[in-house]
Amino acid sequence: MAADLKTISDKLWTTADKLRANSGILPAEYARPVLGLLFLRHADERFSEVEAKLSPREGSRIRPGSEAYKAEGAIFLPPEARFSYLLSLPEGENLGKKLTAAMRDIEAKNPELADVLPKTYQLIPDDVLVELLRELQPLKISGDAFGHVYEYFMGNFAKETMQKGGEFYTPSSIVRLIVEIIEPYHGRILDPACGSGGMFVHSADFVKRHQREPDKELSIYGVERTRETWRLAQMNLAVHGLSGKILDADTYRDPVFEEVTPKKDKDGRYEGSGGFDFVMANPPFNVKELDKSKLLDVANRFPFGVPSADNANYLWIQFFWSRLNETGRAGFVMANSAADARGTEQEIRRKLIESGSVDVIVSVGPNFFLTVTLPCTLWFFDKGKATGPRADEVLFLDARHIFRQIDRAHRDFTEEQVEALANIVRLWRGEQPEFFTPSKAWLEEHFPGLAYGDVAGLCRSATRAEIEGQGWSLNPGRYVGVAAGETDDEDFREKLEELHEELEALNVEAARLQSIIDTNLAEVLG
């Protein structure tokens, strides 16, 4: 985010958060209404631009309708939903009620936004709403920049709401790295656990950076089972000028864009072409107590078998793989423990590796996520690789020592670090590196002549035979080794991370049970 844009975002956030704190409103009650106002301000700015363009000639009685605005990429706003109207309301007018009515009117005029916009403004004191409108009114930034402000607010609200925030928000630097490695230039993108839609937004940014138009290059498909988060995703796409199909559904049990998958033969198995060009996701880790008897279309969604372990990680992994077309790529976040899981999960992993489509595995250090301190692993599939010269190889990257410390509890990747890591993958694939940031010197230092070579402690290209020798492990630490002068404590680190992951899972479960107990006590004592 550019320095001036960050200053604008910081100022707006500080004002909004101060108003919330002084009013006593809970962050969870405040988040969607404020994001709704950001959405409205952006829509108002775009509407004004198109209004000036479509203004009728002097003396003409013809007034452009909603379809004319939509054709120009603007959301149609009724007069009572304009910022100027809302700010001109006399003191004592119920602004919360007027804002809620404005959101309903916008949905009525724009059916694609049905049941998307927040309609709980009566819960926020009018004086807070007035101040928020006044702060947003002078904001004059482009659509792309507004999208950055919107994402900045989403990230901060995710921090404020903690566990709930972790369900809908994947840190942007993680998403950017996934996007840079799968390179979604053109095609159909699926995120079957899409949260607030960040994967789609950053894919669109990638396309724009390569001088193309996202709406012409990308077809967006998402699934989100939580209705409130589904609304966030729809609003997020609209703010960024994107359109797509987002299902409010359960990926495990419901039909998910079956029209995109290959046709089935008489035995119910897929045959022929079809599927997605890209799959991206940050699924919930280590989901337990899933009723496997209700899984839909097991033969095609989970072609390597349903794992016997009480853990959904390998259901997600197989689902991502099975949705890809013959040259499709996938990139997703996964719990570290999945890389070394035993039993039926190890057998599934073996089959995936033997398919030749496991492409790149990246270790990420702790404290990148808002709600848990756990490290994680990024997995990448490339089905097209299975018929190429790298079919027998997997690139392992250890990025645990690469990060920027934001504060004591949070880290991220800088733009230069994201570009450098993605360029390592490009060199390995035989592609030209890209330099939109000052990362070239670092890359040349580690890869003389900009030619790929294994670097101890950073990256290694391992053969299938080597991976088999490691029990089909996909843990980068087993292959990359350590840089000169460092101590190899990988076994200790693995065990510690395993225990840490188990502790985090227990903490999440404890919080869930505490919430149930509190609810039950309130009912009994109330």
pLDDT, tens digit, 9 for 90 and up, residues 410-444? 899 999 999 999 999 999 999 999 999 999 999 99
d(CA 414, CA 332): 19
Q: How many CB atoms lie within 10 A of CB 324?
A: 21
What is the pLDDT of the chain when averaged over all its residues? 87
**Stretch 191-214: mean pLDDT:** 93
Q: pLDDT per residue over 74-131, tens digit each?
A: 889 999 999 999 999 998 899 999 999 999 999 999 998 999 999 999 988 998 999 9
Q: pLDDT per residue over 229-268, tens digit each?
A: 899 889 888 888 888 999 999 998 999 998 898 777 777 7
Tokens of residue 503, six digits: 């502790």
Eight-state DSSP code of residue 253: T
Q: Is residue 29 part of a domain?
A: yes
Question: Residue 165: its pLDDT value, please?
Answer: 40
pTM above 0.75, yes or no: yes
Q: Which of 129, 159, 189 is the last residue of a domain?
A: 159
Whether the per-residue pLDDT at 504 is higher than 70: the answer is no
Give the Cα-Cα-Cα angle 197, 200, 205 (nearest 5 degrees): 130
Q: pLDDT per residue over 272-314, tens digit each?
A: 778 999 999 999 888 888 899 999 989 899 999 999 999 999 9
Q: pLDDT per residue over 22-37, tens digit each?
A: 788 877 778 888 889 9
Question: Residue 502: its pLDDT value, please?
Answer: 62
Task: Count how many domains the chain has.
Answer: 2
Q: pLDDT per residue over 130-160, tens digit each?
A: 998 998 888 776 656 777 787 788 778 877 7
**Cβ–Cβ under 8 Å, residues 248 and 224:** yes
Question: Residue 328: its pLDDT value, please?
Answer: 96
Residue 164's pLDDT band, with cuts at 50, 70 and 90, is very low
Does residue 98 or residue 484 have the better pLDDT?
A: 98
Least confidently predicted of 41-45, 253-257, 366-370, 483-487: 483-487
d(CA 382, CA 360): 9
CATH number at residue 231: 3.40.50.150
Say yes or no: 140 and 190 in one domain.
no
Say yes or no: 274 and 134 in one domain.
no
Q: Is residue 512 part of a domain?
A: no
Q: pLDDT per residue over 55-77, tens digit each?
A: 876 666 667 888 888 888 888 99
Helices marked H in 74-213? 83-87, 95-109, 126-136, 143-161, 163-168, 172-182, 198-209
d(CA 197, CA 200): 6
CATH number at residue 136: 1.20.1260.30
Residue 515's pLDDT band, with cuts at 50, 70 and 90, is low
Which residues in 253-365 belong to E strands, given as ranges? 263-264, 270-271, 276-281, 324-334, 358-364
Say yes or no: 461 and 352 in one domain.
yes
Range of the domain at 273: 163-413+454-478
Question: Residue 483: its pLDDT value, please?
Answer: 73
